[in-house]
Amino acid sequence: MKLLRYGHTGHERPGMLDADGIIRDLSSVIPDLSGAALSAAGIAKLKTLDPTSLPKVEGRPRLGPPVAGMKNFVCIGLNYADHAAETGSPIPKEPIVFLKSLGALCGPDDDVTIPKDSVKTDWEVELAIIIGDTARCVSEDAAMSHVAGYAVCNDVSEREWQIERGGTWDKGKGCDSFGPLGPWLVTADEIPDPQDLAMFCDVDGMRMQDGSTRTMIFGVKKLVSYVSHFITLHPGDVISTGTPPGVGLGKKPPVFLRAGQVMHLGIAGLGEQTQNTVAYSE
């Protein structure tokens, strides 16, 4: 089942994608894709619906982030062995956890703004875990019961601010528009093995990243359990699980984004995103 939110920014409505790729409105069933709607019971209820009985959404509306009410936008750093190698970093012994500002969250095809004075804005295609039931100090064996589904995330990053400006990574990760998420939430039952998903990112039609979740150091079960011991995870929270090699920072010489470019990225079974990069304006 593919669940989504559509409409103008800040006024999105819940929807479902039917077998023909048509958006069906869920507003008469749930107020939004948040809270109880994302729980195991809520997802089970949505699965009983006949999509063709729901109102058809005409045209091609903007897609927003596929979840609402997020409390925590958690990211994992250096979680692919081959990506760690390209950056010259050692393999982490434990997951590297940082938080992305909730203000970074945006729709999958919204513009990405190159921040004022940025010179090293970069791309990162990532598998995002979407939490369905509250997770607090859960075991790895129980972790998957707290997962509503998965989505594509672009963990856009400003490398100078992340690495060269001192302190934590957060300052290079939380800029407005730095968290495109979607196009939809694919429920966990449709992704039997999240550790075997091909993923890619193109910039201006050139393949930059061509990887697989098979090379993740810490898998989905481990990450949900691990993070839940430090941060209570709530319905709609996201854990973005790291990126494969091919980021701009790892190129020789490094390559970074500028205004007027196009990023196109996707993960097998989860859909694709396209963002135009635009210059900062007051």
Domain CATH number, residue 100: 3.90.850.10
| Same domain membership, residue 43 and residue 168 | no
Integer angstrom CA distances of residue 90 from 40, 78, 252: 38, 9, 19
| Same domain membership, residue 228 and residue 110 | yes
| Same domain membership, residue 116 and residue 245 | yes
Among residues 35, 63, 91, the one where a domain terminates is 63
| Same domain membership, residue 75 and residue 17 | no
Helix residue spans in the chain (DSSP H): 40-47, 81-86, 140-143, 159, 220-228
- Residue 166's pLDDT is 84
- Residue 267's pLDDT is 98
The whole domain housing 6 covers 2-63
Count of the separate structural domains present in the chain? 2
Per-residue pLDDT of the chain (282 residues; tens, 9 = 90+): 999 999 999 999 999 999 999 999 999 999 999 999 999 999 999 999 999 999 999 999 999 999 999 999 999 999 998 887 887 778 899 999 999 999 999 999 999 999 999 999 999 999 999 999 999 999 999 999 999 999 999 999 999 999 999 878 899 999 999 999 999 999 999 999 999 999 999 999 999 999 999 999 999 999 999 999 999 999 999 999 999 999 999 999 999 999 999 999 999 999 999 999 999 998
Among residues 30, 63, 96, the one where a domain terminates is 63
Among residues 16, 31, 63, the one where a domain terminates is 63
- Residue 161's pLDDT is 95
| Same domain membership, residue 59 and residue 192 | no
| Same domain membership, residue 161 and residue 136 | yes
- Residue 81's pLDDT is 85
SS3 call for 51: helix
| Same domain membership, residue 263 and residue 213 | yes
| Same domain membership, residue 269 and residue 191 | yes
| Same domain membership, residue 250 and residue 199 | yes
| Same domain membership, residue 146 and residue 82 | yes
| Same domain membership, residue 180 and residue 78 | yes
- Residue 167's pLDDT is 74
| Same domain membership, residue 13 and residue 73 | no
SS3 call for 56: strand
Beta-sheet strands, E only, within the chain: 2-6, 13-17, 23-25, 63-64, 73-77, 96-99, 105-106, 112-114, 121-122, 125-131, 147-154, 157-158, 179-180, 185-187, 198-203, 206-212, 238-240, 262-267, 271-279
